[in-house]
């Protein structure tokens, strides 16, 4: 009987994937079964051909970390045998795991905090003096092999990242920033704002924007330039070129607004970034909202930052993200920026008769279809249908006429009496109240930004507010030159500089990142909000950020549709869920500002109309449907 250990070969393939291989005679061994079980239990994407399992290299590292200890290899009677490039990569990985474990608990400053500014000046970083909290964060990040900067918008994450790269940069090393298009200008401007043109080691080199075809971008990458910025969308369309560059060139890779990869392997951008995560020599992620929906949102970001270390799996297994991260991140809060707490006011507006009737009909259909079916195992088609119903209720609370049109297009049957009433009423009372509020602020010489998640509502408000010269931004407005009045940047410029342009109407998904409005605007009005906490938090941060005068107040007005208690308001559901998601982030980041934000949501008075009961609603629907009892013998 042969008791010699089974040899499990580990190799790195040409496409940057990894492989585990055993001889054909070893396919019935316990280690081969254990490898397959471990991979399948983690739902890792893989393929098996004979005695070879192929999977992403980061996933391969995770399996090595799980099973590669001497004790595991002895008990399962096998040995890992790295071949070729895998040997060096696994040695590096082992060192990284040891370093990260130590750094989670305790950090050793690479450069004393008090000496950092002098080191920056010596590298030509002379035009901007870092603030104390920025120096603290920079010192912390320098002590890490890879870093996460979860500071609030306006705290200078871009500045700190450029300072970090300036100090760690080695000859021949590239810096590649992946960012939303809205952040391009901030990255392009940051070099001239901080660096001397003739800074040592070409420190004054501007960013090169990768915005062309794959061939054009490859030429730029090989041009001798060393600093680049590319959008998430273009990155996934040119995966081969980008991955090839990371393989051949030492690269410091930065993800700006890194929560955009939170879907991980379920999305193209997440899957690509996780696949190439082991290639760059250093990785940094930047976001003020690392887990906008749930703790699982941070899983893929941690797996990108520390591939194979199992940090994302620990979060999924129930460990608190703060316990998992330890010292592996920095966070500057708004309190540290010296900003006043925003003044939040919740304004509840009752639905009109036709709006309430239609809202109640749709609400009842939603409950009938989904109240007993919603669960984690429901099919994608059913989940999509449920989401559409939720969006319909959100739109009904704001713009019932447009919701009615959308329902007609979806073959949703609505009684003609209710439809006629909705059309006769026109804009909702909430929409009219928001328009009146923006107009009143303009009359007092104050600018405002009105946020709504629906493009049709944006256009409706722009038409309604024509007398105060509105400008708008949504996903259909292209980025471009600041001199182009039709571009996103040109419209923001007009809002800043045109005194007669009193209101910006925008979608948080399109304008919640990459713009600063705080120098001219101190009022945000929410016509509606989505369930995505990132959109809400980041939209507030457009007007509440570093640079505000210490005595300046920031006003947040949140409009909600009031509904009877038996029906319930979807705006209250949004408020509850936002509070829970913000509270989860507060527990991770230990941020008192997030605590206050969650508390405001939790303590706001419910938007309930106690003057209307269930029978009143039933009678109203019957009346509008023409089926009410016309016998008024007991009429008062």
State pLDDT tens for residues 523-533.
999 999 988 88
- The two tokens of residue 95 are 């060192």
In a domain, 324, yes or no: yes
- What total number of domains does the chain contain? 4
SS3 content of the chain, % helix, strand, coil (to 5): 50, 15, 35
Burial 327-356 (b: 16+ CB within 10 A, else e): ebbbbbbbebbebeebebebbbbbbbbbbb
Q: Dihedral through CA 294, CA 300, CA 306, CA 311, nearest 10? A: 40
At 83, which CATH number?
Answer: 3.30.780
Helix extents (H) in 222-296? 232-237, 239-248, 268-275
DSSP per residue, 370-394: HTTT-STT--HHHHHHHHHHHHHHH
- 470 falls within a domain: yes
**Whether residue 312 sits in one domain with residue 379:** no
Residue 176 sits in the same domain as residue 221: yes
Other C-beta atoms lying within 10 Å of the C-beta of residue 88: 11
* Residues 447 and 543 occupy one common structural domain: yes
Which strands form 6-12's sheet, in the order they lie side by side?
46-49, 52-56, 17-21, 6-12, 78-82
- The 3 state secondary structure assigned to 154-165 is CCCHHHHHHHHH
In whole angstroms, give the CA distance from residue 598 to residue 589: 13
Assign 3-class secondary structure to 556-579. Answer: EEEEEEEECCCCCCHHHHHHHHHH
Instruction: Please report whether residue 634 resides in a domain.
Output: no
Query: Residues 558, 475: one domain?
Result: yes
Cα dihedral 183/188/194/199 (nearest 10): 150
Regions of the chain with pLDDT less than 50: 1, 617, 628, 630, 632-636
Residue 581: the pLDDT is 84
Residues 324 and 361 reside in one and the same domain? no
Identify whether residues 241 and 270 lie together within a single domain: yes
Rounded to 5 degrees, φ, ψ at 554 are -120, 125
Q: CA 362: distance to chain centroid?
A: 30
Judgement on whether residues 361 and 321 belong to the same structural domain of the protein: no
Residue found by looking up tokens 């915005």 in the block: 211
The verdict on residue 596 lying in a domain is yes
pLDDT attached to residue 635: 43
Pairing of the two strands 52-56 and 17-21: antiparallel
- What CATH number does residue 448 fall under? 3.40.50.300
Per the structure block, which two tokens stand in for 409? 């297009």
Q: Quick one: 410 and 278 in the same domain?
A: no
CB 110 within 8 A of CB 144: no
Q: Does 433 lie in the same domain as 369?
A: no
For residue 437, the enclosing domain spans 342-346+428-610
Name the region of 63 (left: φ>0; alpha: ψ -120 to 50; beta: rest). Answer: alpha
CA 248/CA 238 separation, integer angstroms:
16
- Residue 631: inside a domain: no
Domain end call among 286, 301, 332? 332
Non-local (6+) Cβ contacts of 537 within 8 A are 288, 289, 292, 582, 597
Do 156 and 193 meet the contact criterion of CB atoms below 8 Å apart?
A: no
pLDDT of residue 632: 42
What is the pLDDT, as a whole number, of residue 619?
Answer: 58
In a domain, 61, yes or no: yes
Same domain, 146 and 48: no
Here the CATH number for the domain that contains residue 263 is 3.40.50.10810
SS3 category, 433? helix
Q: Which long-range contacts (CB under 8 A, 24 or more apart) does 493-500 make?
A: 495/447, 495/471, 495/520, 495/521, 496/520, 498/469, 500/468, 500/469
Determine phi and psi for 209, rounding to 5 degrees. -85, 120
Q: What is the pLDDT of residues 477-524, one digit of tens each?
A: 988 888 899 998 899 999 999 999 999 999 988 887 778 899 999 999
Token pair in block for residue 125 = 């970083």
**Domain's final residue, options 301, 332, 363:** 332
User: Domain ends where: 82, 103, 124?
Assistant: 103
Same domain, 242 and 322: yes
How far apart CA 195 and CA 528 sit, in angstroms, is 42
Enumerate the H helices of 498-560 as residue ranges.
Answer: 508-511, 533-540
Provide the token pair at 286: 């930047």
Largest CA distance in the chain: 100
Please give the structure tokens belonging to residue 122: 């010596």
Query: In degrees rounded to 5, what are phi and psi of residue 204?
Result: -90, 5
pLDDT in tens, 109-124: 888 888 999 999 999 9
**pLDDT at position 611:** 56
Instruction: Tally Cβ neighbours within 10 Å of residue 324.
Output: 22
What number of H helices and E strands is found in the chain?
Answer: 28, 18
- The closest alpha carbon to 424, from 352, 485, 374, belongs to 352
- One domain, residues 593 and 527: yes
């Amino acid at each position: 009987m042969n008791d010699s250990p089974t040899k499990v070969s580990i190799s790195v393939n040409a496409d940057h994937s990894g492989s585990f291989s055993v001889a054909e005679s070893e396919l019935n061994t316990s280690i081969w079964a254990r490898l397959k079980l471990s991979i399948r239990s983690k739902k890792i994407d893989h393929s098996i051909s004979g005695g070879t399992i192929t999977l992403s290299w980061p996933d391969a590292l995770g399996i090595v970390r799980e099973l590669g200890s001497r004790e595991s290899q002895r008990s399962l009677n096998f040995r890992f045998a790295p071949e070729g490039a895998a040997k060096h990569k696994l040695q590096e990985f082992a060192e990284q795991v040891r370093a990260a474990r130590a750094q989670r608990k305790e950090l050793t400053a690479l450069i004393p905090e008090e000496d950092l500014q002098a080191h920056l000046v010596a590298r030509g970083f002379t035009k901007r003096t870092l603030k104390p909290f920025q120096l603290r964060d920079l010192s912390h990040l320098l002590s890490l092999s890879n870093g996460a900067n979860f500071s609030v918008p306006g705290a200078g994450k871009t500045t700190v990242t450029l300072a970090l790269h300036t100090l760690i940069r080695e000859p021949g090393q590239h810096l590649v920033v992946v960012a939303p298009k809205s952040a391009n200008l901030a990255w392009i401007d940051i070099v001239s704002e901080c660096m001397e043109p003739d800074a040592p080691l070409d420190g004054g080199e501007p960013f090169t924007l990768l915005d062309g075809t794959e061939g054009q971008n490859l030429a730029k990458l090989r041009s001798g330039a060393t600093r680049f910025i590319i959008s998430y969308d273009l990155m996934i369309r040119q995966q081969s070129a980008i991955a090839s560059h990371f393989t051949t060139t030492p690269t410091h890779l930065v993800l700006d607004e890194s929560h955009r990869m939170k879907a991980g392997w379920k999305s193209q951008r997440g899957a690509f970034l996780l696949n190439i995560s082991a290639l760059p020599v250093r990785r940094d992620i930047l976001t003020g909202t690392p887990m906008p929906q749930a703790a699982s949102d941070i899983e893929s970001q941690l797996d990108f930052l520390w591939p194979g270390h199992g940090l994302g799996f620990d979060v999924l297994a129930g460990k608190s993200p703060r316990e998992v991260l330890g010292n592996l991140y920095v966070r500057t809060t708004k309190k540290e920026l010296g900003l006043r707490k925003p003044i939040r006011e919740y304004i509840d507006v009752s639905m009109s008769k036709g709006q309430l009737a239609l809202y109640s009909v749709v609400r009842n259909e939603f409950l009938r279809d989904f109240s007993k079916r919603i669960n984690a195992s429901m099919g994608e088609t059913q989940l999509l249908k449920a989401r559409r119903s939720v969006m319909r209720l959100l739109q009904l609370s704001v713009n019932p006429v447009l919701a009615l049109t959308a329902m007609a297009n979806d073959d949703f049957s609505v009684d003609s009496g209710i439809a006629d009433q909705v059309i006769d009423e026109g804009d909702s009372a909430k929409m009219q109240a928001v328009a009146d509020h923006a107009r009143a602020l303009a009359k007092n010489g104050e600018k405002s930004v009105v946020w709504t998640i629906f493009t049709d509502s944006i256009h409706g408000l722009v038409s309604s507010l024509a007398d105060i010269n509105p400008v708008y931004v949504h996903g259909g407005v292209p980025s471009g030159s600041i001199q182009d009045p039709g571009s996103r940047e040109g419209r923001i410029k007009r809002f800043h500089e045109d005194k007669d342009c009193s209101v910006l109407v925008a979608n948080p998904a399109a304008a919640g990142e990459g713009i600063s409005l705080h120098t001219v605007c101190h009022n945000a009005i929410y016509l509606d909000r989505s369930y995505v906490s990132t959109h809400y938090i980041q939209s507030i941060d457009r007007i509440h950020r570093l640079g505000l005068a210490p005595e300046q107040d920031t006003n947040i007005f949140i409009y909600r549709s009031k509904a009877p208690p038996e029906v319930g308001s979807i705006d209250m559901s949004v408020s509850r869920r936002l509070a829970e998601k913000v509270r989860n982030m507060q527990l991770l980041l230990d941020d008192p500002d997030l605590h206050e934000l969650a508390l405001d949501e939790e303590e706001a008075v419910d938007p309930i109309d106690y003057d209307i009961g269930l029978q009143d609603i039933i009678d109203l629907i019957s009346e509008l449907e023409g089926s009410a009892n016309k016998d008024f013998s007991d009429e008062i």
